[in-house]
Amino acid sequence: MNLPEKASFEKIYGETEKCTERFQDLAEKFAKIYKHDHADFFTSPGRTEIIGNHVDHNGGKVIAGSINLDTIGAAAPNGTNVIHITSEGYRDEIVVDLDRISRANYPKGTFALLAGMMEGAKKNGFKTAGFDAYVSTNVIAAAGVSSSASFEMLIMVIIDYFFNDSKMTYTDYAKIGQYAENVYWDKASGMMDQMACAVGGPVLFDFADRNDLKYSKLDFSFGKFGHKLVIVNTGKGHADLSQEYSEIPGEMKAAAKVLGAELLHETTLENLLAHVNEIKDDRAILRAIHFFEETSRVERAADAIGEENYQEFLKLMDESGRSSWELLQNCYCIKDCHEQKIPLVLALTQLFLNKIGGGICRVHGGGFAGVIAAIVPEKEMDNYVEYIAQYVGRDNVYPMDIRAVGAAHIG
C-alpha cells in the first residue's frame, strides 16, 4: 500500500521520518482489518483558540489556529451503504448504517456524532455512502483543543473527497459538524472549532453570517516574537459539562432577545446598557458585556498582528483571559465550586510568570474544566514545563505550534 509522497508530509508536519512511521502503521492496520489493497490518507488537526472566547455562537469574531496535533485516517469506499470505522485505542468498531439513521438508532457517543454528520450532510444536499476507515489521533481528548471537531472534520474531508468531488466548502464542513453536535449531542456549540480545524493556520473568523462565514489567514506565530504556546491539561475533562456550555449561548441569546435581536452581533453594547434594568439575569448581562468587548478585542488583536505590535497583542490576550474569568465566568463550574482546577493552574502559572517578568496565561477553549494556555518566552519554556509538570504531571504539558494545513486529503 503506497503512502503519500514525502513532500506532502514535509508541507504538513515539517518533517518526514516520524510521520512516515505513523502513517505506515496506520496503513498496515487498515489493510489488516479491512482487507483493502489501496487507501487514501487524510489529516485533520486540533485547534487552539487564540482570542475570541465563546463569541462565535452569537455571530462574533475569533482568532484561532490549527495545531500540530492531528487526527489521521486511512480510508476507502466499500461499495455499501454502511460506514465502518476502527478508532485506535477504542475496543468497539464504529458502525453506522446510512439507511437507518435516526437519533433513536444512534443515541450517544461517537456513533451518534457520525450518524448526525451523515444526516447533516444529506440535509445540506451532499452525497454520502459507505466507507471503511482506520483512525488514529494524538489530539488531547476532553482538553479544550477540539478532539471532537478534529474527528468531525476528518470525516467531512473523507466524504467530500470520496463522494462529492471535493466541492464542499469549509463552511459546509462546519455547518454539518455543528448540526451533529446540536442535534445528536444536545450541545449548543457554534462553528469555531470546526472552522479552525478545517481551514488551518492562524485565521481571523467572522461568524456574523453562518451561511457564508468570512475568514482570512493571518501572518502570525508565537515564535515571531520569541514566545511559545504551552497547553496545560489541568486534570479534569469536560465530557459532563454540556449544560454549562449550552447556558452561555443561551443566556447571550436571551439578552439579545430583550434588545430586539436574535443574536448579540445584531445589536450593540450601547443598546445593552440602555436596557440593563430590563434583563433580570445578572450573569446574562455580564456574558453579553463580555461578547461585545471580546469581539472588539479580536479586531484590535488582528490589527496588532498586522502592525507587528506583539506587546499590544499579548496585552489583549491577557485582557481576554481576565474577561473570560470575570464576566463570561467559565473557569470553574459553580455546581462543584470546590473543584477549581483551571483557576488553580492559572494561579500557579501566574506565579511563575511574575517571577520571570513576562508572558501571559488564560483559560483555553470552552472552559469550566480542561486546559489553560500559557504564552511563555521561548528561553523560559523548558523551565516553565518543568515547573508546572510538578503539579499536573509531564504528560499533561504540551508545548505546541500552529500548523499551516487544516483538514486535508494527503494522497
The DSSP annotation for 24-61 comes to HHHHHHHHHHH--S--EEEEEEEEEEEE-TT-GGGT-E
Calculate the dihedral angle through the C-alpha atoms of 181, 134, 105, 240, rounding to the nearest 10 degrees: -40
How many other β-carbons are positioned within 10 Å of the β-carbon of residue 275?
Answer: 14
241: left (phi over 0), alpha (psi -120 to 50) or beta: alpha
Query: Which sign, positive or negative, has the C-alpha torsion 142, 264, 203, 231?
Result: negative
Assigned C-alpha cell, 256:
439579545
- Strand 227-233: give its sheet, edge to edge: 360-363, 371-377, 227-233, 397-400
Give residue 102's pLDDT: 96
> What are the extents of the domains in the chain?
6-219+404-409
Residues in the chain: 411
For the chain, report the end-to-end CA distance as a whole number of angstroms: 12
Tens of pLDDT, residue by residue over 250-308, are 999 999 999 999 999 999 999 999 999 999 999 999 999 999 999 999 999 999 999 99
Q: Write down the pLDDT at residue 238.
A: 55
Q: Burial level of 225, CB count in 10 A (0-12/13-18/19+)?
A: middle
Q: Is the pTM of this model over 0.85?
A: yes
pLDDT of residue 243: 87
Q: What is the pLDDT of residue 336?
A: 86
At 122 the pLDDT is: 97
- Asked if residue 391 lies in contact with residue 27, where contact means CB atoms within 8 angstroms, the answer is no
Contact between residue 239 and residue 142 where contact means Cβ atoms under 8 Å apart: yes
What was the pLDDT predicted at 186? 86
Q: Among residues 391, 389, 385, 365, which one has the least CA distance to residue 47? A: 365
pLDDT for 280:
95
Q: Could you tell me if 30 and 21 are in contact, meaning their C-beta atoms sit under 8 angstroms apart? A: no
Contact between residue 51 and residue 205 where contact means Cβ atoms under 8 Å apart? no
pLDDT of residue 78: 98
Q: Which pLDDT score, from 0 to 100, does residue 144 have? A: 63
pLDDT in the model for residue 382: 98
CA distances from residue 122 to 42, 56, 158, 159, 172 in whole angstroms, order as listed? 22, 24, 15, 11, 11
Identify the pLDDT of residue 110. Answer: 93
pLDDT of residue 58: 95
What are the C-alpha distances in Å from 111 to residues 94, 131, 146, 181, 196? Answer: 6, 15, 18, 12, 23
Residue 370 confidence (pLDDT): 85
β-bridge partners, 42 = 73, 409
Q: In terms of C-beta density within 10 A (0-12 exposed, 13-18 middle, 19 or more buried), how is residue 338 classed?
A: exposed
pLDDT of amino acid 142: 59
Task: Please give the Cα distance from 283 to 293 (Å, whole number).
Answer: 15
> Was domain 6-219+404-409 assigned CATH 3.20.20.60?
no
pLDDT (tens digit, 9 = 90+) per residue, 159-184? 999 999 999 999 999 999 999 999 99
Q: What pLDDT is attached to residue 143?
A: 58
pLDDT-flagged residues of the chain (< 70): 142-144, 236-239
Bridge partners (DSSP) of residue 362 are 373
Strands (E), 89-190: 94-97, 131-137
